[in-house]
Amino acid sequence: MTLLLPVRNGLPWLGAALASIFGQTFADFELIVLEDGSADGTPELLTRVDDPRLRIIETGGVGIARALNVGLEAARGAYIARHDADDESLPTRLADQVAVLESRVDIDVVATVAEYIDASGQTVDNAWVRTVRRQQDAAVTPDAIDELMALTCCITHGSILARADVLRSVSGYRPEMEPAEDYDLWLRLLPRHRFIKLERPLYRYRIHGDQSGARTRERQTRHAVLAKLQHVRRLYPALPTPARLGILGSGRGDAYYQAMAEEAGFALPEPANGLLASGDWDVLAVTDFDSIAQYREKLSRGGEASIDLVGNLFVKRVSRQ
């Protein structure tokens, strides 16, 4: 098994991350640290680690997706685990995940529910964490993850263990999709590959002030929307090019779909009243997730029996692959 840990300026938490990895009850692994141009003492810390399982590959600032692809190519293990430099794993995490892949040939990716901690390692319980718990932690079965993933990324990237040949079969991560490279990868794996999530929180995800800012979050949302639209085009190859993308909602959500439509092979129909009644769309994006059920009922009452719901996207008139 190979564990990939990309890092750029990993202090002050990298030491705790490494300690949690080398403290695993499952010991038969190699750890590849992808040192991506740190300037904070990270390289010096790594040279002091005395464990033969550690391999350091310098990637020189290429970014997380390219660095992970370097690691994926260099990995010797049949399984690939992920870990972030500011997070921690509980001691049985790898053992529990390996046991799943060893016993379930139908499963290709095993994630785990996460515990959320602050800079000092204390548990965080705020509105965002409670929303994640309510919306995402319940999706633990393959079918539930498949359904929810089309709506939102419902697994923690650093918590996964996957079959190496499965990740390589889709050429790993796409750098152009950063910083939503993980969400894009999961959608490209679905629905042909199955995910499962362990209900016990075996991964500790750290929330701190040095994480991505507003500009990065903006780009992440745009690329997540693009990944969704591309996912629908893969599921429904008979969609015309360009397909008509109708948008229901208001505010920033609309803007993301408008911005990403052309790149994903969609055209925006002329705005008009009664978009639902006119039927002037092939795919309909509902940007207010709380309104999805309401629009589903309206479409059903309108006799649109052939419509599928993929996350927050209604798709009609073509057969699913």
Q: What is the DSSP string of 215-258?
A: HHHHHHHHHHHHHHHHHHHHH-TTS-SSEEEEEE--SHHHHHHH
Q: How far apart are CA 147 and CA 131, in angstroms?
A: 18
The answer to whether 40 and 10 have CB atoms below 8 angstroms apart is: yes
Q: What is the residue-level pLDDT of the chain in tens, covering all 321 positions? A: 999 999 999 999 999 999 999 999 999 999 999 999 999 999 999 999 999 999 999 999 999 999 999 999 999 999 999 999 999 999 999 999 999 999 999 999 999 999 999 999 999 999 999 999 999 999 999 999 999 999 999 999 999 999 999 999 999 999 999 999 999 999 999 999 999 999 999 999 999 987 665 568 899 999 999 999 999 999 999 999 999 999 998 777 899 999 999 999 999 987 655 677 778 899 999 999 999 999 999 888 766 558 999 999 999 866 555
The predicted model scores a pTM of 0.95
Q: Crossing angle of helices 181-189/64-74, nearest 10°?
A: 50
CA angle 295, 300, 302 (to 5 degrees): 95
Q: Do 227 and 187 meet the contact criterion of CB atoms below 8 Å apart? A: yes
Tokens (6 digits) for 228: 């969704």
